[in-house]
Structure 1
């Protein structure tokens, strides 16, 4: 005799054949769909990261885009002399000179402002820029070129600024330092105390001049003093030529001292208090356009590598610096 309860159970089981397989398939498809969504989001974020890195790479490797020079409006060009002046730095002669020339070529440029904020640097790089400003003034006598000092305009920076038609400062700016320096260290006594012997072989009596591990020689010191004195006289001649009768020469003028902007005006080291905006307004073209050429990061790194390689070849001579 059939059991009603057993028949009911059997009927329920036969009503949904393969239900286990359906559940497994649904779970599998759900997992696949989730993987697809995760893959799509992964591709999206990877693409976003790539675009971000590409943008960063473009910014650091290539020059900064200059200000808008389109349109018919006149403007005052701005060229930065900011930071240490050296061939492997942003403030190098090539970049500054190219910036000046670009500003001169623009027919809407009514004047050029040198934005000066530098402690100085290489006398050679400074001299290059100084001579270029003088050449531009000779070729374009009606184009004013002025220097506007923010924090500091010292030594090599002042060498450059002295070629400008006028120098504007803030009362608290630091200006001057008309001098030359060559510095280094001597480790002879320390080597003797720790028992280190210096072994140096040269071809040429003065090839190791200023070697920090050898005792200084009076004749070499006198020679180097004469060298920096020559550079100092070149600096003084450039300042006198640029400033003319405006500068009041005293025993301290070319001693390497620095003065505040307020004091520099009194002594003729600078001309007046002014900002970029006020100077541009006086020039009749209030719009400021940045013509500064920003060198690529890779070029600056190449310059530093070249300098390091040269030092590795054994050059121990300290550089002369206007700072």
Structure 2
């Protein structure tokens, strides 16, 4: 083979090699894309399967609850977490659970199992009033509040509407008081050289603005609002507990302090020490507990978890973290 022929044919051989290499690489990329698409498809298929399984499982749970309600039982309603609108322990949820429990002819007694730091006085008041209304309407069914870890503030407000209150010796009970907190940023604004401009059509419309100095008459007014709410709280507790409260000689009873279950028993804040099983078995006489607490569906719980996760990621990305209860 001559040198001229080799020189002429060499570029063509190199071109074929590069074309073959390019074809191989493109085929690999296409295969990766295909595998990725199939992976996404199977993941979606798995989610659809799980959602379907949860949707099928929910009616089975309801059937089990219905079957359990076919016998005499103690109705259990959880009051857990903050008492506020749109929360699990909202008035709508608790009141709905109470009505369902009282309407069931097999209910022999109702237990409110409480583990809550309190919350909205309005929501607590709604629940308090409904408990007393249902008690008057169904005098053969008694309501028992059982405080587990914590029954404070609005949670104790609710408990005081029950026929009797039980707690553990180490439970935290009480905190009969009202609080409202904010911050004052006036000096910070001055140091930063930032001017606050607020436009209102009422003399005191912005009296809670943390960026403006407090005025004595507005502070006095706001204290009056809190005192009025506190008085309403005290009146409701007294009405619910009656002469069981050891008010005489204990002026600190309504001061916002909180006590252990053992101390609360001595003060008349609770009636006895005990848990839910004890009350159902020994007091009500129907040891079978049926949960009437309003529950989110599995799909709702999943959606809330996804929403909370997304919100947390966004907060981290933006460098903002909202307030948290500790």
Q: TM-score range by the shorter chain?
A: 0.7 to 0.9
Bigger RCO (CA 8 Å, 6+ sep): 1
Given that 1:66 and 1:291 are in contact with CA atoms closer than 8 Å, whether structure 2 keeps it comes out as no
Given that 1:133 and 1:164 are in contact with CA atoms closer than 8 Å, whether structure 2 keeps it comes out as yes
* C-alpha spacing 1:192/1:46, structure 2 compared with 1 (3 Å): closer
2:133 maps to which of 122, 135, 139:
135
Question: In structure 1, what is the Cα distance between the partners aligned to 2:40 and 2:122?
Answer: 54
| Deviations 1:207-265 (CA, angstroms, capped at 9, x unpaired) | 10110000011111111111111110100000001111111011100000000000000
1:49 to partner: Cα distance = 3.6
Question: In structure 2, what is the Cα distance between the partners aligned to 1:40 and 1:214?
Answer: 60
Other structure's SS at 1:289 match = strand
1:69 to partner: Cα distance = 3.2
1:206 aligns to 2:204 (yes or no): yes
Other structure's SS at 1:236 match = helix
| Deviations 1:109-156 (CA, angstroms, capped at 9, x unpaired) | 000000100000000000000000000110011101000011000000
* C-alpha spacing 1:44/1:74, structure 2 compared with 1 (3 Å): same
* C-alpha spacing 1:85/1:67, structure 2 compared with 1 (3 Å): farther
Question: In structure 2, what is the Cα distance between the partners aligned to 1:121 and 1:93?
Answer: 11
Question: In structure 1, what is the Cα distance between the partners aligned to 2:185 and 2:57?
Answer: 44
Rg comparison, structure with higher value = 1
1:5 corresponding residue in structure 2? none
2:293 corresponding residue in structure 1? 292
1:70 aligns to 2:71 (yes or no): no
* C-alpha spacing 1:230/1:214, structure 2 compared with 1 (3 Å): same
1:50 to partner: Cα distance = 2.0
- After superposition, where does 1:237-316 map in structure 2 within 5 Å? 237-249=235-247, 250-282=250-282, 283-295=284-296, 297=300
Structure with higher helix content: 2
1:42 to partner: Cα distance = 9.2
1:120 corresponding residue in structure 2? 118
1:7 corresponding residue in structure 2? none
Detail structure 1 runs of 4+ shifted over 4 Å in the superposition. Answer: 39-46, 53-60, 64-67, 295-298
Question: In structure 2, what is the Cα distance between the partners aligned to 1:57 and 1:183?
Answer: 43
1:57 to partner: Cα distance = 8.1
Give the TM-score, by structure 1 length: 0.75
1:66 to partner: Cα distance = 8.5
Question: In structure 2, what is the Cα distance between the partners aligned to 1:59 and 1:268?
Answer: 45
Question: In structure 1, what is the Cα distance between the partners aligned to 2:62 and 2:276?
Answer: 20
Given that 1:93 and 1:129 are in contact with CA atoms closer than 8 Å, whether structure 2 keeps it comes out as yes
Question: In structure 2, what is the Cα distance between the partners aligned to 1:276 and 1:194?
Answer: 56
Question: In structure 2, what is the Cα distance between the partners aligned to 1:285 and 1:292?
Answer: 18
1:44 to partner: Cα distance = 6.8
Question: In structure 2, what is the Cα distance between the partners aligned to 1:105 and 1:285?
Answer: 17
* C-alpha spacing 1:148/1:189, structure 2 compared with 1 (3 Å): same
Other structure's SS at 2:252 match = coil
Given that 1:67 and 1:291 are in contact with CA atoms closer than 8 Å, whether structure 2 keeps it comes out as no
Structure 1 alignment gaps of length 5 or more: 1-38, 305-323
| Deviations 1:36-82 (CA, angstroms, capped at 9, x unpaired) | xxx9999777533421245568999x9x8596132642100001110
2:95 corresponding residue in structure 1? 97
Question: In structure 1, what is the Cα distance between the partners aligned to 2:135 and 2:86?
Answer: 27
Question: In structure 1, what is the Cα distance between the partners aligned to 2:152 and 2:115?
Answer: 8
* C-alpha spacing 1:44/1:141, structure 2 compared with 1 (3 Å): same
Question: In structure 2, what is the Cα distance between the partners aligned to 1:257 and 1:196?
Answer: 40
Question: In structure 2, what is the Cα distance between the partners aligned to 1:59 and 1:221?
Answer: 55
Given that 1:116 and 1:152 are in contact with CA atoms closer than 8 Å, whether structure 2 keeps it comes out as yes
Question: In structure 2, what is the Cα distance between the partners aligned to 1:78 and 1:271?
Answer: 19
